[in-house]
Amino acid sequence: MKKILECQNLKKKFGKKQVLRDVSFSLNEGDILGFIGPNGAGKTTTIKLILGLQKINGGKVTINGYDIKTNYVQAIKKVGAIVENPDLYMYLTGRENLKLIARLYDEVDKKRIEEVIEISGLGKRIDDKVSKYSLGMRQRLGIAAALINKPNILILDEPTNGLDPEGIKQLRDLLIKLAKEYKMGILISSHNLLELESFCNKVCIIQNGKIIESSSIKELKNKISDSLYVFELDKVSDLYKFIKEKFEVINKTTFKIQINRDAVPKLIEKLIRNKYQIYQVSQLQISLEEAFLEKTGGNKID
């Protein structure tokens, strides 16, 4: 897969506060990368550095082979983005909004406007005023506007905020289509981990301005769940007397523990020796949210 975006050792300070510390990750064409972390971790700052909206204090951003600092125009040429909310003229129709945005580019014609209308699925409502659009429709129009210059990279910051389930589903279907059919690389920052898990294939976790994980979602979940086990017993009292590893009591007969696979038989032996009846031992199947919480030590995404 072709690498189309690369961040190398990005640093950013606001006054004396170090916000980003050597942030490094990459995006390939056709990937949908979930960029996640607690509030204040540095997600939006990273996105703004990638887009050239804030000054980079250290490190490098390369987009389609071009350095964002030394060749900004070429680097940003094939990038579409929505940071926070799409900027739309509410008193104009969807089509009129797209025509205005098309004027910013030399190579965008009427045919391209019709293409993005079709891609976004707004054909039936494109000539209605934006003020009559639902939030989900406005988000799709914003993405249509971001696609007007035929980008191969789409960057979205919290695009599901405020959307109802139907709006989220429509957005999810659109992003999957863009990645699959158009080989677009998509970087999406969101706190909705359940939703990200349904369509992202990769994840990058940032915490306190540092990248602490960059892998496929499957690899991350396997990495965490490979060492997470659930034991169902006749009771869970007094386990602390002989289990030295940290464990979590789930209910009166079940506990969860993080140990190496090789240590499981030894723990079973200890339980039997201490007269516990064992009904079941299973490897825990976890969600992206649970993997995130394990990886970050319980930091929640607010």
Q: How many whole angstroms separate alpha carbon 199 and alpha carbon 186?
A: 11
48 and 188 both lie in a single domain = yes
Instruction: Dump pLDDT digits (tens) for 216-271.
Output: 999 988 887 778 899 999 999 999 888 988 899 999 999 999 888 889 999 999 99
Q: How many whole angstroms separate alpha carbon 39 and alpha carbon 59?
A: 23
Is residue 202, in this structure, part of any structural domain at all?
yes
**What is the mean predicted confidence (pLDDT) over 6-33?**
95
134 and 252 both lie in a single domain = no
Tell me what the pLDDT averaged over the chain comes to: 91
Residue 22 buriedness (CB in 10 A; 0-12 / 13-18 / 19+): middle
Instruction: Tell me which residue range forms the domain holding 254.
Output: 226-296
Give me the pLDDT at residue 295, please.
85
Residue 209 near residue 284 (C-beta atoms within 8 A):
no
137 and 203 both lie in a single domain = yes
Q: Provide the number of structural domains found in the chain.
A: 2
Phi, psi of 114 (to 5 degrees): -65, -35
Instruction: Dump pLDDT digits (tens) for 51-89.
Output: 999 999 999 999 999 999 999 999 999 999 988 777 899
Inform me whether the pLDDT recorded for 299 exceeds 60. Answer: no
Q: How many whole angstroms separate alpha carbon 192 and alpha carbon 160?
A: 8
**What is the mean predicted confidence (pLDDT) over 19-46?**
94
Q: Which of 173, 188, 215 is the last residue of a domain?
A: 215
Is residue 220, in this structure, part of any structural domain at all?
no
Q: Which of 192, 215, 238 is the last residue of a domain?
A: 215
Instruction: Dump pLDDT digits (tens) for 269-283.
Output: 999 999 999 999 998
71 and 91 both lie in a single domain = yes
144 and 290 both lie in a single domain = no
Give me the pLDDT at residue 293, please.
86
Instruction: Dump pLDDT digits (tens) for 155-187.
Output: 999 888 778 888 888 889 999 999 999 999 999
